[in-house]
Amino acid sequence: MLGMIFLAVGSMSYWQDWLFLANFCGWCAALMAYFVKRDPALVRQRLSVGPAAEREPSQKRIQLFNSIAIIALFVVSALDCRFGWSGTIPVAVVLLGNVLIALGFVGCFFVFRQNSFAAAMVRVTEEQRVISTGLYGMVRHPMYASVLPMFLGVPLALGCYWGVLVVLPVPGGLVARLLDEEKHLVKQLTGYADYREKVRWRLFPGLW
């Protein structure tokens, strides 16, 4: 991430980039340290990520699309910093972007605490069970709901408005992933069909 952003920016003097990296990487390190101690099995599951890690062909395609969209989000936002396409961005907007990123990580933290089966790939293990309490009692995919504001916060934190346009494909990729994921869970995870009837909302209570 460091190389991708600063190569695209062409400079290491942008305070927005350093603040973003401190915020983003700080949360990653904090969550890693916490769960390595509390739930190392979860951490091992989270280390296998991306299209190559997926077993289902449909998920390989979806994750390839998502990976390209996320890389484009970082690169376009960094290029905006470099060439000043968005002009001068208020400090308040940059701080708002970092707050959104932090909120996304907080949401992921509670998801991981409540669900030790939250692997980074779509699969069902023998010991896996349906989690229906906590955030999972409100929506069926709280981790996806958590990362959406995080992705919106990335271009704002980097001082970029044009990057917001690149965020638009990301929700589409996440929706495609969760819909395909639910098909597999209904077939392979005992009790998931009943859970889906009990918790109606996928991402946002009262909306969808």
CATH of the domain at 66: 1.20.120.1630
CA atoms within 13 A on the CB side of 191: 6
Query: Which residue reads 């408005």 in tokens?
Result: 161
Does some domain include residue 164?
yes
pLDDT of residue 16: 87
For 55, the domain range is: 14-118+126-198
Residue 177 lies in a domain: yes
DSSP helix/strand/coil, 84 = coil
Number of compact structural domains in the chain: 1
CA–CA separation, 1 vs 139, rounded Å? Answer: 31
**Domain for residue 207, yes or no?**
no
Report the C-alpha gap between 74 and 22 in whole angstroms.
Answer: 15
- Whether 8 is in a domain gets the answer no
* Residue 34: per-residue pLDDT: 95
Residue with tokens 């062909």: 57
Whether residue 2 is contained in a domain is answered as no
Structure confidence by residue, pLDDT tens digits, 133-167? 899 999 999 999 999 999 999 999 988 888 888 88
Most confidently predicted of 125-129, 141-145, 204-208:
141-145
> Is 206 part of a structural domain of the chain?
no
**Contact in structure between 42 and 116 (CB atoms under 8 Å):** yes
Least confident of 42-56, 151-165, 171-185: 42-56
Which has the higher per-residue pLDDT, 96 or 181?
A: 96
pLDDT for the residue numbered 103: 96
The single-letter code of the amino acid at 146 is S
Residue 29 has pLDDT above 90, yes or no: yes
Residue 97: name the closest of 156, 37, 26 by CA. 156
Query: Is the residue at 9 inside a domain?
Result: no
| Residue 204 in domain | no
